[in-house]
């Protein structure tokens, strides 16, 4: 027997039998309830794995006389039936099997052993089609013939006993199947010996039975014994040995022991490729197993090519309409569904459904499995009207084919109930949950996790309805089951704890909820510490995203339920500090660890990752090509796989750090400073689904070095976001008088509420969230008409947890350097629509002349200012880059700016030249908007380097910069457009150059929030470096430079001086890094100079 990972269904699914032990892949996302997530339940189906004479284990057949014509025809038909079964053409095989049986009955009589063989063959077809009621009497009659004619202890009797047991097992009647398999094993051991191959086959079936029950401790030693028998009898590289390795790997997979499962699956694949050839269908089974393992690990980039290859093999070997092709389609669709690529998943699910309906019939249980998969896809997207009929049809199929009390029917009921619960249709959901629970209580162990899941969801329903007494008892029972079976620190326990806490809030006893939430938070923290580092960045984000609702519930518990409770405040703020910006922090930690332990192997992997990121950049910014989309997808997959491998490798060297606490963050704050931790959260309302609809809100947590943390509710997030959009719209364009009004309106929403808490605070360290990441707070205007920059210092971090990382500095490894004025090459004429182009920056050259005196090394300019030059830098003390920058939602449609204007042009009549780009023939620049996938922001932000007008090799993306080795760099200044913007998912900072520079290792960065004027940027940078030379802190120096521009009439509008912000370490540069020199501010007379243009 072999193990194959097959189609799935939500909350557990038993696909119909093939000739293998079949293990479901992880199901798609089930409908969820706030605080209670429906667990992805998995089931196993065990199927007879013996075929033909090999199943009986008989001695070699003796030479027999020729058959009469009728029997010869029966034999020929039997061979044809076997071929059709292998092709999955069961409906075509059925009449031939019936004809063969009829011929043998007429020639040999009703009680002949060959008639029993034909009965077995026909019964197998009915079983494959899920027609168990027809299969059972045929197998029973075959058993009666063999027992009567051959005797009760004949090996052929054992074969039919096994077949009969499999029918019961597929119907989840393991109590009926077990004695049959036990008797079959006893017969074969006595008749053939304990080490006979036929004994191994029966042992494997019996082990599968225990697997289905979840009795892994019983199943595993049986599979081990099977492996020993097969290795000794057949040799270690036989295909049957691979079958058993797959089964053992599946046992470990089900228990979450992925490290044990992977080498077994890999070895099985190796054996099959060598023994059977790379295109054999069994190789497809091994690939499916391995791909599903990667899927469960979240290693999507590794899973996809494996599952694609499995599909290709099955299509070529079995034909496009074989049921196992449908299995591969489902596996691949599950991957896309899990990744949120619904557009890719849907056609695969539909094709799989069509294959099953045509080959197995419309009422087969495997058709029901595909219906559930498709329904889950729609339900996940909120398309309940499309999901419901699919769920109902699946339920009808399973009830008719498996019986009303089958566990799969319970799964169907549970899914349908979840769909209604999500819509608030409680009267429709409750009876379905109750019926599912009743079925499971009769068919599975009383401590089964699936019972706990059902109890938790039913408790959530009663909580919504206000039936608190019912809800509490169910939650406590569910919690007891999971704590006993899964352990007290399992993530599923945390789900029940959050649900129970919500119940206590609804009961009006929130003080009982606080310890439950605190325990749930600690369980999740342990989960993050154990899992986060070994995952790729997309998978890290997916894991954190699954906790968003839980994080919001903890914040809402404090703000909305217990606003006066110090423990509730501490819990909420601690949770925010631990989770907000956690992905960036973990990635930075991984990079630092790897850089500190550069073994030859790790260095080679880092080089491979840099190469893969470069290839992705070239594909994204190359000329359009019909094959480009597939190549980009493959390149992204390679990048993700390398990131995951390096993350796992870093664990070997990483020291386990203690969790973040408020006290540690307070200790890292300087005197006179305040951390303002903004949080965007969904208010956790009580009541029914309809009553719980509540808009997102913002809250600010205020932390100083001394004293307890405080907080201020800021109000509706939509109103604040709208004010952000209005203010940025005014700042992004040429100076207007309306900007002051918009900036004052935003100040009233986000600064005025905390102003009375700022007494005595000279430095505000901002950790924005959501769209607030794009706001230059220094430019906001108070009620007295003063800019905030005139009153105090502002600097920026992703989260307060950043303060702890910044407290551990790294020494520079090379002198500071300027990279400026790249030679972009000639602008194409005519420029192709949809392409970008870059004009020379006159101001960048002047900026270079002004700053050259602060650097001891020669600047990198012109043709030498390449992407490769940036990549070759190793921890420069300071890195200043003056060039074009960009952030665009579509990497293939970069925006190029207008042609350069004269340096003497009137500011009133001519638009300022900017350090950015617009699409040739395209729209004007617009403010940053979130992308569908925040990670795309790393590919949509970048810098133009030498040769940018000649091709993609002149573009360096944020993703590439993230892999550069700038560890030890004290300051990176990106004097270009839009270097501080990007995708802004809540709780995770800015996905763009801002994020990349942190990952590259820099301690601080000066970046821009919109398209900067070439002239004002040059002036600001000259003033900034002058302040740095006087020993002024990195953030205060920028503030002083802004104040000087503010006092010059030509630059007084915040459009000129407010674009650049300092993120990261605000302290002064070490004298050894940046020697202090005397510096004099530019005289006021400079205020009447004309504004130079940058292009």
Each residue of 110-133: pLDDT tens digit? 999 999 999 999 998 988 887 888
Which has the higher per-residue pLDDT, 12 or 594? Answer: 594
Range 593-607 average pLDDT: 73
Q: What are phi and psi of 897, to 5 degrees?
A: -80, 170
Which has the higher per-residue pLDDT, 1041 or 918? Answer: 1041
Q: Can you give the pLDDT at residue 44?
A: 28
Contact (Cβ atoms closer than 8 angstroms) between residue 41 and residue 453: yes
Neighbours of 691 (CB within 10 A): 11
Classify residue 619 by its DSSP letter.
H
Mention every residue, 6+ apart, whose C-beta is less than 8 A from residue 334: 8, 25, 26, 27, 28, 295, 345, 373
Contact (Cβ atoms closer than 8 angstroms) between residue 1004 and residue 966: no
Q: In 3-state terms, what secondary structure has residue 453?
A: helix
DSSP for 248-283?
HHHHHHHTT-HHHHHHHHHHHHHHHHHHH-TT-HHH
- pLDDT value at 18 more than 60: no
- pLDDT value at 988 more than 80: no
Per-residue buried b or exposed e for 855-887, using 16+ beta carbons within 10 Å of the residue's own CB: beeebbbeeebbbebbbebebbbbbbbbbbbbb
Q: Which domains does the chain have, with CATH numbers?
A: 50-56+68-234 (1.25.40.10), 662-803 (3.30.420), 812-1088 (3.40.50)
Query: Distances from the Cα of 1041 to the Cαs of 346, 887, 919, 1019, in angstroms?
Result: 55, 25, 32, 9
Q: In 3-state terms, what secondary structure has residue 41?
A: coil
Which has the higher per-residue pLDDT, 130 or 1058? Answer: 1058
DSSP for 697-720?
EEEEEEEESSS--EEEEEEEHHHH
List the structure tokens of 371: 């219906």
Q: Can you give the pLDDT at residue 687?
A: 65
Share of residues in the chain with pLDDT > 90 (%): 54
Mention every residue, 6+ apart, whose C-beta is less than 8 A from residue 593: 650, 653, 654
Share of residues in the chain with pLDDT > 70 (%): 83
Range 668-689 average pLDDT: 88
Residue 956's beta-bridge partner residues? 943
Q: Can you give the pLDDT at residue 144?
A: 92
Classify residue 37 by its DSSP letter.
E
757-793, pLDDT tens digit by residue?
999 999 999 999 999 999 999 999 999 999 999 999 9
87: left (phi over 0), alpha (psi -120 to 50) or beta: alpha
Q: How far apart are CA 802 and CA 660, in angstroms?
A: 10
Q: Can you give the pLDDT at residue 1092?
A: 31
495-505, pLDDT tens digit by residue?
999 999 999 99
Q: Can you give the pLDDT at residue 689?
A: 67
Which has the higher per-residue pLDDT, 698 or 1077? Answer: 698
Q: In 3-state terms, what secondary structure has residue 763?
A: strand
146-202, pLDDT tens digit by residue?
999 999 999 899 999 998 998 888 877 778 999 999 999 999 999 999 999 999 999
Beta strands in 89-206 (DSSP E): none
Query: Distances from the Cα of 643 to the Cαs of 301, 591, 758, in angstroms?
Result: 10, 10, 42
List the structure tokens of 860: 């990198």
Give the highest mean pLDDT range of 9-23, 538-552, 595-609, 1053-1067: 1053-1067
Residue 44's beta-bridge partner residues? 23
Q: What are phi and psi of 915, to 5 degrees?
A: -90, 70
Q: Closest Cα to residue 329, out of 346, 349, 343?
A: 349
- pLDDT value at 545 more than 90: no
List the structure tokens of 992: 């763009």
Q: Can you give the pLDDT at residue 692?
A: 66
- For the CA atoms of 625, 629, 630, 635, the dihedral, rounded to the nearest 10 degrees, stands at 110
Which has the higher per-residue pLDDT, 41 or 610? Answer: 610
866-888, pLDDT tens digit by residue?
999 999 999 999 999 999 998 88
- pLDDT value at 33 more than 50: no
DSSP for 476-516?
HHHHHHHHHHH-TT-HHHHHHHHHHHHHHHHTT-HHHHHHH
Which has the higher per-residue pLDDT, 652 or 29? Answer: 652
Q: Can you give the pLDDT at residue 11?
A: 33
DSSP for 818-850?
EEEEE---PPPSSPPTT-------HHHHHHHHH
Beta strands in 383-486 (DSSP E): none
List the structure tokens of 212: 């289905």
List the structure tokens of 783: 């009620």
**What's the start-to-end Cα distance of the chain, in Å?**
71
Q: How far apart are CA 265 and CA 293, in angstroms?
A: 9
Q: Closest Cα to residue 208, out of 240, 171, 169, 179?
A: 169
858: left (phi over 0), alpha (psi -120 to 50) or beta: beta
- pLDDT value at 952 more than 90: no
Range 817-838 average pLDDT: 78
List the structure tokens of 685: 């309302």
Q: Can you give the pLDDT at residue 407?
A: 85
Q: Can you give the pLDDT at residue 85?
A: 83
Q: How far apart are CA 412 and CA 128, in angstroms?
A: 21
List the structure tokens of 50: 């013996």
- pLDDT value at 641 more than 90: no
H-state helical runs in 865-957 = 867-872, 937-940
- pLDDT value at 751 more than 80: yes
Q: Closest Cα to residue 162, out of 111, 193, 204, 103?
A: 204
Per-residue buried b or exposed e for 606-629, using 16+ beta carbons within 10 Å of the residue's own CB: bebbbebbbbbbbbbbbeeeeeee
Average the pLDDT over each of 489-498, 539-548, 688-697 and give the range with the smallest value.
Answer: 688-697
Which has the higher per-residue pLDDT, 627 or 982? Answer: 982
507-537, pLDDT tens digit by residue?
999 999 999 999 999 988 888 887 777 676 7
**Stretch (H or E) spanning 606:** helix 600-620
pTM beyond 0.85, yes or no = no
Determine the Cα angle at 177 with ends 174 and 182, to 5°: 120
Contact (Cβ atoms closer than 8 angstroms) between residue 406 and residue 445: no
Neighbours of 151 (CB within 10 A): 11
Average the pLDDT over each of 53-67, 347-361, 998-1012 and give the range with the smallest value.
Answer: 53-67
Residue 23's beta-bridge partner residues? 5, 44
Average the pLDDT over each of 428-442, 573-587, 884-898 and give the range with the smallest value.
Answer: 884-898
Angle between helices 300-318 and 323-338 (to 10 degrees): 160
Q: What are phi and psi of 77, to 5 degrees?
A: -65, -40
- For the CA atoms of 27, 28, 29, 31, the dihedral, rounded to the nearest 10 degrees, stands at -80
pLDDT grade, residue 1075 (50/70/90)?
Answer: low
Q: Can you give the pLDDT at residue 625?
A: 59
pLDDT grade, residue 980 (50/70/90)?
Answer: confident
- pLDDT value at 12 more than 60: no
Task: Identify whether 830 is preceded by a cis peptide bond (ω within 30 of 0).
Answer: yes
Per-residue buried b or exposed e for 439-454, using 16+ beta carbons within 10 Å of the residue's own CB: bbeebbeeebbbbbbb
Q: How far apart are CA 392 and CA 412, in angstroms?
A: 8
Classify residue 597 by its DSSP letter.
T
Q: How far apart are CA 364 and CA 631, in angstroms?
A: 38
Q: Can you give the pLDDT at residue 1044?
A: 96
Mention every residue, 6+ apart, whose C-beta is less than 8 A from residue 769: 580, 678, 679, 680, 698, 986, 987
DSSP for 177-205?
HHHHHHHHHHHHHHHH-TT-HHHHHHHHH
Q: In 3-state terms, what secondary structure has residue 955?
A: strand
Which has the higher per-residue pLDDT, 128 or 1053? Answer: 1053
Residue 4's beta-bridge partner residues? 22
Average the pLDDT over each of 683-687, 690-694, 952-956 and give the range with the smallest value.
Answer: 690-694
- pLDDT value at 428 more than 90: yes
Residue length of the chain: 1095
Range 962-991 average pLDDT: 87
Q: How far apart are CA 13 and CA 402, in angstroms?
A: 12
- pLDDT value at 804 more than 80: yes
CA dihedral for 3, 7, 13, 19, sign (positive or negative):
negative
Angle between helices 239-254 and 216-234 (to 10 degrees): 160
Average pLDDT for the chain: 82
């Amino acid at each position: 027997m072999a193990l194959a990972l097959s189609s799935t269904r939500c909350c557990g699914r038993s696909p119909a039998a093939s000739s293998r032990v079949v293990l479901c892949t992880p199901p798609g996302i089930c409908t969820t309830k706030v605080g209670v997530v429906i667990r992805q339940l998995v089931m196993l189906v065990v199927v007879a794995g013996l075929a033909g004479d090999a199943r009986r284990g008989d001695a070699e057949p003796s030479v027999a006389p020729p058959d009469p014509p009728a029997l010869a025809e029966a034999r020929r038909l039997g061979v044809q039936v076997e071929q059709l079964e292998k092709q999955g053409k069961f409906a075509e095989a059925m009449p031939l099997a019936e004809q063969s049986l009829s011929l043998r009955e007429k020639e040999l009589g009703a009680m002949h052993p060959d008639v029993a063989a034909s009965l077995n063959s026909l019964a197998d077809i009915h079983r494959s089609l899920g027609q168990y009621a027809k299969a059972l009497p045929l197998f029973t009659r075959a058993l009666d013939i063999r027992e009567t004619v051959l005797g009760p202890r004949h090996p052929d009797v054992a074969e039919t006993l096994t077949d009969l047991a499999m029918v019961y097992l597929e119907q989840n009647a393991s109590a009926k199947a077990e004695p049959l398999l036990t008797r079959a094993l006893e017969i074969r051991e006595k008749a053939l010996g304990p080490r006979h191959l036929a004994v191994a086959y029966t042992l494997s079936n019996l082990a599968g039975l225990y697997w289905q029950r979840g009795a892994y401790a019983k199943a595993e030693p049986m599979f081990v014994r099977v492996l020993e028998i097969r290795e000794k009898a057949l040799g270690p590289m036989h295909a049957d040995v691979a079958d058993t390795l797959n089964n053992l790997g599946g046992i470990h997979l089900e228990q979450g022991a992925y490290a044990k499962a992977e080498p077994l699956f890999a070895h099985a694949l190796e054996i099959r490729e060598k023994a059977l050839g790379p295109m054999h269908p069994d190789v497809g089974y091994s690939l499916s197993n391995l791909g599903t393992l990667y899927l469960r690990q979240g290693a999507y980039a590794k899973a996809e090519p494996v599952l694609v290859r499995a599909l290709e093999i099955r299509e070529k070997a079995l034909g496009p309409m074989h049921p196992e092709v449908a299995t591969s389609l489902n596996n691949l669709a599950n991957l896309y569904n899990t990744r949120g690529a619904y557009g890719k998943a849907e056609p695969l699910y539909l094709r799989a459904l069509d294959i099953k309906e045509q080959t197995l019939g419309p009422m087969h249980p495997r058709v029901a499995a595909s219906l559930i998969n498709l329904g889950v896809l729609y339900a996940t997207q909120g398309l309940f009207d499309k999901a419901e009929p699919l769920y109902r049809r699946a339920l009808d199929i399973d009830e008719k084919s498996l019986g009303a009390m089958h566990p799969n029917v319970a799964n169907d009921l549970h899914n349908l109930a979840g769909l209604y619960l999500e819509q608030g249709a409680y009267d429709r959901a409750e009876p379905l949950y109750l019926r599912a629970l009743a079925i499971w209580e009769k068919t599975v162990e009383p401590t089964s996790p699936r019972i706990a899941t059902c109890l938790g969801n039913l408790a959530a329903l009663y909580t919504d309805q206000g039936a608190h007494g019912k809800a509490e008892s169910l939650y406590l029972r569910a919690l007891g089951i999971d704590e006993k079976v899964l352990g007290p620190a399992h993530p599923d326990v945390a789900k029940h704890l959050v649900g129970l806490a919500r119940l206590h809030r609804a009961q009006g006893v929130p003080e009982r909820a606080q310890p439950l939430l605190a325990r749930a938070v600690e369980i999740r923290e342990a989960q993050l510490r154990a899992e986060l580092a070994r995952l790729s960045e997309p998978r890290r984000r997916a894991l954190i995203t699954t906790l968003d609702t839980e994080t919001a519930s903890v914040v809402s518990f404090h703000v909305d339920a217990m606003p006066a409770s110090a423990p509730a405040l501490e819990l909420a703020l601690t949770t925010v500090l631990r989770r907000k910006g956690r992905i960036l922090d973990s990635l930075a930690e991984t990079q630092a660890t790897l850089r500190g332990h550069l073994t030859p192997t790790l260095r080679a992997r880092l080089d491979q990752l840099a190469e893969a990121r470069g290839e992705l950049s070239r594909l994204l910014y190359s000329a359009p090509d019909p094959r480009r989309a597939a190549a980009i997808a493959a390149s992204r997959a390679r990048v993700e796989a390398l990131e995951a491998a390096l993350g796992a490798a870093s664990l070997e060297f990483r020291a386990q750090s203690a969790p973040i606490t408020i006290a540690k963050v307070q200790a890292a704050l300087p005197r006179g400073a305040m951390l303002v931790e903004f949080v965007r959260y969904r208010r956790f309302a009580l009541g029914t689904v309809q009553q719980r609809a509540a808009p997102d809100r913002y809250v600010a947590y205020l932390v100083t070095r001394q004293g307890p943390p405080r907080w201020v509710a800021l109000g509706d997030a939509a109103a604040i976001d709208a004010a952000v959009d209005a203010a940025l719209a005014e700042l992004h364009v040429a100076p207007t008088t309306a900007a002051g009004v918009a900036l004052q309106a935003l100040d009233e929403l986000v600064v005025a509420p905390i102003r009375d808490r700022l007494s005595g605070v000279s430095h505000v360290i901002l950790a924005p969230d959501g769209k607030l990441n794009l706001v230059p707070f220094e430019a906001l205007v108070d009620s007295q008409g003063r800019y905030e920059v005139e009153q105090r210092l502002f600097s920026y971090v992703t989260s307060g947890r950043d303060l702890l990382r910044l407290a551990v500095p790294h020494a520079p490894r090379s002198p500071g350097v300027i990279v400026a004025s790249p030679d972009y090459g000639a602008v194409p004429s005519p420029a192709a629509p949809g392409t970008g182009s870059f004009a020379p920056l006159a101001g960048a050259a002047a900026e270079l002349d002004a700053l050259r005196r602060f650097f001891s090394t020669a600047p990198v300019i012109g043709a030498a200012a390449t992407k490769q030059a940036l990549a070759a830098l190793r921890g420069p003390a300071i890195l200043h880059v003056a060039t074009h920058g960009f952030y665009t939602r579509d990497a293939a449609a970069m925006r190029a700016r207008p042609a350069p204007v004269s340096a003497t042009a009137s500011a009133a009549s001519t638009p300022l030249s900017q350090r950015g780009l617009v699409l040739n023939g395209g729209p004007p620049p617009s403010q940053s908007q979130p992308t569908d996938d925040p990670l795309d922001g790393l590919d949509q932000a970048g810098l133009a380097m030498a040769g940018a007008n000649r091709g993609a090799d002149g573009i360096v993306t944020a993703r590439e910069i993230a892999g550069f080795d700038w560890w030890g760099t004290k300051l990176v200044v990106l004097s270009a457009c839009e270097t501080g913007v990007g995708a802004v998912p809540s709780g995770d900072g800015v996905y763009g150059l801002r994020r990349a520079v942190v990952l590259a290792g820099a301690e601080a960065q000066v970046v821009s929030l919109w398209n900067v004027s070439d002239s004002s940027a040059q002036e600001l940078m000259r003033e900034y470096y002058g302040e740095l030379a006087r020993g002024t802190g990195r953030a205060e120096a920028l503030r002083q430079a802004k104040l000087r521009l503010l006092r010059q009439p030509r630059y007084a509008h915040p459009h000129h001086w407010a674009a650049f912000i300092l993120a990261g370490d605000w302290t002064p540069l070490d004298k050894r890094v940046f020697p202090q020199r005397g510096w004099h501010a530019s005289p006021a007379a400079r205020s009447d100079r004309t504004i130079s243009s940058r292009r």
